[in-house]
Structure 1
C-alpha cells in the first residue's frame, strides 16, 4: 500500500482538513438499496439545525427491505467497533493472512453488542454511524464500542463521536444520540434531552477525556495533530465547536411503499415531515439549543421491535420473543 492509497496517511505538510476527510470509509451506495432519502434537507428557521428523513426502501410487493438494511449495517461492524490502528495492522498483512484476521475482527466486533438486553438501542446507534459517515461524510474519530467493559451493558455517554474540519480551521465535533420509541414525540423529547448537556458543556467532559486517550485515526501522526484540538494548552483548543447528531426512530403506521408509491403518498408524508420539523424546532427552542448546529435524522419504520430483532439476527444474537 502506497502512502497515497492510505486514507489516513499524512505528513506535516498535508492540510489537516484533507487528512480528516480521508478518514471517511465507504459511501452511500452501501445502504442505498435499503434506504430512501425522502425530500430535501430542511433548515429549521431561527436555528442552525437541519432535519432529514430516511425510510426503508420497499420491494415490488411493497415489503420494506428491513432485512437488507440489517445486513448492510452488520457489514459495518468492523469499521464501527474496531479501532482503526487494529484494522490498519491487518491491512499490512499478506492477502492469505488478511482473511482470517478480518474474520477474527468481525467476530470480536459482534461480541461487543449486548447479548441479553431486549430493548437495546445499539442497532439505532449503528444506523446513526452509517448516516453520518456514509451520508454526510463525517468520519467517526472514536470507537466507543471498543471501550465497553461489559458486553451486557451499553456504553455510557454519547452514542457516537464524529468530527470534521471546517473551512475556517475549526474542528466540529458531533456528539451522537440515537433513540427508538413507538412514539415520535417520545423519541424526539428523549433525544433532545440527551443531546442538550453535550452541547451546553454540562456532560461532554468524560467523552472528551476518552477522545484524548483513545481517539484513533489509524496513523499516529494524524491522531497527534487532531488531538491538538483537545489540548487545553494549545491555541487550537479554542477552535472546537460542539455539534449534535440525532437519530429519531419511531413507528409510522400505513408504511409507504417507496419509491414506487411516492407520488401517491407525497402529500401525506410532506405534512408529517413538516410537523416533525416544527416539533423539533420547538424542542430546540425550549432547551436553548437554537445556536447549535444539529443534524436531525427522522427514521420512520413499520416496527421498532422488528428493526431491533433484524439487526440482532444478522449479528447472530438470540432474539427474545
Structure 2
C-alpha cells in the first residue's frame, strides 16, 4: 500500500504549472453543474476584463503561448534541456525548445490547435490530470493536424484504478455547431463499441508514453498491456472544451443582479443543448468534464496565440 501511494504521488507530480494566472484570465461563472440525467459536469468560464473594460484576450493568449513547450515537447527532452542549461549557464537549450514547439503548430488562424493547447492547460492546471502522450512531435508535417483525440490525460486512484481522459476541443463561431461536433468527435472513444478508436490511440501511448521516470513508466504501461490483468482497472472518461463567439460579451466583475440572472438563464439554455447532444450521441452515462467557454471572438484568440508564439 505504501508503494502504491508512492506511485500515485510520483504520477501526480507530473502535473505542470499552477492554475493561478490561467483562472485569473479565465474566471468561472457560478459553480460547476451536472447536466440533469447525465454524468457530464459543466464548468462555464468567461474571459476576464481589464480595468478599461476590455476582455483580456491578449493576456489569455500569452498564458497559452507560454505553455506551448509543455504541451508540445516530451518531458525527457525538456529535462535534458534544463539540465544542459544548468550545466552551461546558457538559456540556448530552452530557446531551442521554444522554437521547436512554435514550428510544430499549423500556421493558420483557423487551426484547431489553439483549442487543443487550451484544453491541455485546463486538464493539467485546473483538473490536475497529467498528460500521457504529447502528440504534436508525432506530426509528419507542421501543415497537418494530429490524428485521433485532442489529448490523452489520466489520474491514478488509491484503489489502483487508472482513469484515462480522452480530450476533444472545438472553438467555433456557433455554439450549436461546437457542441454537436465536439460530442460527435469524442463519442467513438467513449462508447462501448469504440474499441478500435481507443486501441489506435493507446498504441501511441504505449510507444510514446510521456513519462521520463523508468519505474513509474513501467508501472503505467502495465495498464496498457492486454496480457496484464491491470487492463481491467482502466476506466474511460471524456474532457471537452467548447468555445464559441458570444455577442454583448459580459464583464463578470461588473454584473448587477439582473444581468447576472439573465446570464445564468443563458448558461442554463446551453446546459439544455448539451443534454440534448449527449442523448443524441448516447453519452449520457459517460463521465465527462466539459468546459463551456463563450469568447468575444474565437478566431481573434487563435490568431493572438500564434502571434505570441512567433508562429505567424
TM-score range, shorter chain: over 0.9
> Structure 1 residue 198 and structure 2 residue 189: aligned?
yes
The equivalent position to 1:221 in structure 2, one of 211, 215, 219, is 215
Other-structure match for 1:297: 291
CA contact (8 A) 1:58 1:64 kept: yes
Alignment of 1:112-261 (within 5 A): 112-115=104-107, 117-200=108-191, 201-202=194-195, 203-261=197-255
Structure 1 gap ranges (5+): 1-10
CA apart distance, 1:164 = 0.5
CA distance in 1, matches of 2:92, 2:208: 26
CA distance in 1, matches of 2:259, 2:7: 45
Deviations 1:118-142 (A, max 9, x none): 4101111111111110011111111
Change (3 A) 1:220 1:263: farther
Deviations 1:106-163 (A, max 9, x none): 1101110012x34101111111111110011111111011111110011111011110
Other-structure match for 1:31: 22
CA apart distance, 1:228 = 0.6
SS at match of 1:247: strand
CA distance in 2, matches of 1:162, 1:149: 22
Deviations 1:204-258 (A, max 9, x none): 2211110010012121221111111000111111111111111101011100113
CA contact (8 A) 2:82 2:94 kept: no
Other-structure match for 1:100: 92
CA distance in 2, matches of 1:218, 1:276: 41
Q: Which runs of 4+ in 1 moved over 6 A?
A: none
CA distance in 2, matches of 1:266, 1:23: 38
Other-structure match for 1:68: 59
CA apart distance, 1:92 = 2.6
Give the number of the structure whose residues are more often helix, by fraction: 2
The equivalent position to 1:80 in structure 2, one of 63, 71, 74, is 71
CA distance in 1, matches of 2:283, 2:28: 26
Give TM-score scaled by structure 1 length: 0.91
> Structure 1 residue 316 and structure 2 residue 310: aligned?
yes
